[in-house]
Amino acid sequence: MSNFVVTLIRFGVTYGLASLMGFWVLVGSVILVCRKGPRWFFSKKVRETRPACMQDSNLGSHGFLRAQDVRLHYVAAGSCSKPLMLFLHGFPECWYSWRHQLKEFKKDYRVVALDMRGYGESEVVRGVQNYEMKKLVGDVKEVIAALGYSSCVLVAHDWGGAVAWTFAMDYPDLVDKLICMNIPHPHRFVKHISSSWKQMIKSWYMLYFQLPALPEYLMSSGDYSTIKNAFHGKKMGLRNRENMTDDDIEAFKFAISQPGCLTAAVNYYRAAVRYPSKLRHDPQVTSPTLLVWGDEDGAFDNDVLVGHDKFVKDFTLKKVRGASHWVQQDAPEEVNEIMREFLG
């Protein structure tokens, strides 16, 4: 069978399933309009200035740097004479998801929490191809150098974790230690989702996000109500809701509502399907690695954890009982303690 035919079949299956999922999301949206009214559904607040919680000087100072073809925003604290601890956030978040860790580790590290490309106050680059993995990995490499370091402790969650795993494989000399949270090794995830219906169902949104425009439009409805549902909802929400206040949610709404940011965030998923990374012959991570896992994750099946020691030379797994996908925000004290123990 020719490559053209394979591509055509893959395209048809992908967008056929995406359209089916889009139909059901539309049905749900119509039900919401009937329940809450058109005024609620079409409401959208303009957010031009950072909320007060994002201006907290205890979290650090705001800065910008240039990496490849994009201007990136970050928040940094701690002495520049200390080792670098670089934080990468997930979807649909921003640098602020690391607020608890910035406060905790700034005494011992130069802590830097990045707004990844297209998120928050970082520059939005047009085009799905600008969000493929090699671009995201390249950003991390240039950020480390731009900050004046030759390596770092790399800490990441969700999509940031997918980038961090890949970065540690590509540039092992730049990663002193790797800490990932609720994101499996990419090879382990690919093998797991190809054989687990449970994981396929949990990952339905990855196909839905392949549709043009519709995901962004519906996610922004009800003044970005999807953001609040992600953190406070029954399926995905934090178990310790007091750790995600209305002010915190407003911070994430501010980040995702900046012009073009929502499309950029969804483009991470579009690029992953359109420009998939090739599976490696040797997917080993040689840096000492800690995987922190909230075991009430609504996005990942816990069975995906099996077999990680095959991909990591020096591997530590720590489960946080009862914590959600947003583990570093759901149980910050426990996560910080686990990190300190691992870092020695």
Number of H helices, E strands in the chain: 14, 8
| Residue where the block lists tokens 């029954």 | 234
Q: Given this model, what pLDDT does residue 278 score?
A: 82
28 found inside a domain: no
Q: Given this model, what pLDDT does residue 15 score?
A: 86
Computed on alpha carbons and rounded to an integer, the radius of gyration of the chain in Å comes to 19
- Phi/psi at 165 (5° precision): -55, -50
Angle at 122 between CA 120 and CA 127, to 5 degrees: 100
CA distance 70 to 198: 37
Could you give the 3-state DSSP secondary structure of residue 154?
A: strand
Q: Given this model, what pLDDT does residue 280 score?
A: 82
CA distance 91 to 266: 9
Q: Given this model, what pLDDT does residue 3 score?
A: 60
Q: Which of 80, 118, 119, 70 is nearest to 98 (CA)?
A: 119
Amino acid at 128: V
CA distance 207 to 174: 33
Q: Are strands 61-67 and 70-77 parallel, antiparallel or unpaired?
A: antiparallel
Q: What is the pTM of this model?
A: 0.96
Bridge partners, residue 226, by sequence? none
15 found inside a domain: no
Neighbours of 46 (CB within 10 A): 5
Provide the annotated active-site residues.
158, 269, 325
Asked if residue 73 lies in contact with residue 120, where contact means CB atoms within 8 angstroms, the answer is: yes
241 found inside a domain: yes
75 found inside a domain: yes
Q: Given this model, what pLDDT does residue 16 score?
A: 87
**Edge to edge, what strands does the sheet with 175-181 contain?**
61-67, 70-77, 110-114, 84-88, 152-157, 175-181, 289-294, 315-320
The domain total for the chain is: 1
277 found inside a domain: yes
Sign for the CA dihedral angle at 181, 301, 285, 187 comes to negative
CATH of the domain at 226: 3.40.50.1820
Digitized pLDDT (tens) for each residue of the chain, 344 residues in all? 566 555 666 777 788 889 999 999 999 999 999 999 999 999 999 999 999 999 999 999 999 999 999 999 999 999 999 999 999 999 999 999 999 999 999 999 999 999 999 999 999 999 999 999 999 999 999 999 999 999 999 999 999 999 999 999 999 999 999 999 999 999 999 999 999 999 999 999 999 999 999 999 999 999 999 999 999 999 999 999 999 999 999 999 999 999 999 999 999 999 999 999 887 878 999 999 999 999 999 999 999 999 999 999 999 999 999 999 999 999 999 999 999 999 99
Q: Given this model, what pLDDT does residue 9 score?
A: 65
12 found inside a domain: no
Domain span at residue 175 reads: 43-343
102 found inside a domain: yes
DSSP 8-state code for residue 245 = -
16 found inside a domain: no
| Residue where the block lists tokens 């119509």 | 30
